[in-house]
């Protein structure tokens, strides 16, 4: 049995643990068959998230890290619904996002990309879904950035989404891309999803109704947790 046969896709539209074109997955993918471990009580002892733990501006990266001015870049409003496999809204779920700034750089010690940091922007946000399972993120459109996967490799603009259940063991991670990005055709992370329809579910839709006149462009990005229309999820250790 070869390496790829030992590590098939987790199923359906989800990317496989091992995707040779995505170079770092070769080192990160497990080398032996995964063994499921039973959950103990300690796995369910993490806090249940509630609205009282969030601050009013936590969902808005244009204000939640402001020091002495506005962050630079094109403002965007991203809104969507979190749905279960039957299409029912998932209420009160914690969603966290993180992203690069408009110049394509993360506020992270390992990011040595030769691009400026923005003193008024960290690129992180968090929010709870409402009674309709809806969330809203206000942010800056991230820039593309180079990475060392292969020659002349650039990651398309994207926002990372992390969806929590009722504790820290229930976490799903995905990425949202922007429509019309030419870099998608060259991106091993995006192309690592075997089902083309699954890839499409990671691309947000421009929505004029969400656009704020003279201020920000609007995009819609729904997240489906399972079933025939599931959003592709990834190994949460893949943070490129």
How far is it, in rounded angstroms, from Cα 179 to Cα 90? 26
The question of whether 158 is a catalytic residue gets the answer: yes
Q: Considering 14, 59, 79, 158, which one is annotated as catalytic?
A: 158
53, 69, 96, 232 from 228: Cα distances, Å: 34, 45, 24, 11
Q: Where are the alpha helices (DSSP H) in 153-221?
A: 188-191, 196-200
Q: Considering 75, 160, 201, 238, which one is annotated as catalytic?
A: 160
The question of whether 186 is a catalytic residue gets the answer: no
Are 165 and 129 within 8 A, CB to CB?
A: no
The question of whether 190 is a catalytic residue gets the answer: no
Q: Considering 17, 155, 201, 238, which one is annotated as catalytic?
A: 155
Structure tokens at 79: 């809104």
Half-sphere exposure of 166 (CA within 13 A, CB side): 4
The question of whether 155 is a catalytic residue gets the answer: yes
Q: Considering 7, 17, 22, 106, which one is annotated as catalytic?
A: 106
Active site residues: 106, 145, 155, 158, 160
């Amino acid at each position: 049995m070869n390496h790829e046969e030992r590590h098939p896709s987790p199923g359906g539209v989800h990317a496989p643990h091992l995707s040779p074109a995505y170079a770092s997955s070769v080192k990160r993918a497990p080398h032996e068959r995964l063994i499921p471990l039973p959950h103990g009580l300690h796995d369910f002892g993490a806090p249940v998230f509630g609205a009282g733990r969030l601050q009013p501006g936590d969902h808005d990266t244009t204000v939640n890290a402001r020091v002495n001015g506005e962050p630079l870049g094109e403002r965007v409003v991203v809104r969507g619904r979190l749905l279960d496999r039957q299409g029912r809204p998932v209420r009160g779920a914690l969603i966290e996002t993180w992203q690069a700034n408009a110049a394509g750089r993360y506020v992270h010690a390992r990011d040595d990309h030769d691009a400026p940091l923005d003193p008024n922007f960290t690129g992180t946000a968090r929010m709870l879904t409402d009674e309709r399972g809806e969330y809203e993120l206000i942010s800056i459109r991230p820039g593309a950035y180079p990475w060392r996967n292969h020659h002349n490799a650039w990651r398309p603009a994207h926002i990372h989404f992390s969806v929590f259940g009722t504790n820290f063991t229930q976490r799903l991670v995905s990425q949202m891309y922007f429509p019309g990005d030419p870099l998608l055709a060259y991106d091993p992370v995006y192309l690592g999803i075997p089902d083309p329809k699954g890839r499409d579910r990671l691309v947000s839709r421009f929505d004029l109704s969400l656009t704020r006149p003279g201020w920000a462009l609007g995009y819609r990005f729904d997240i489906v947790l399972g079933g025939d229309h599931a959003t592709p999820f990834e190994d949460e250790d893949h943070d490129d």
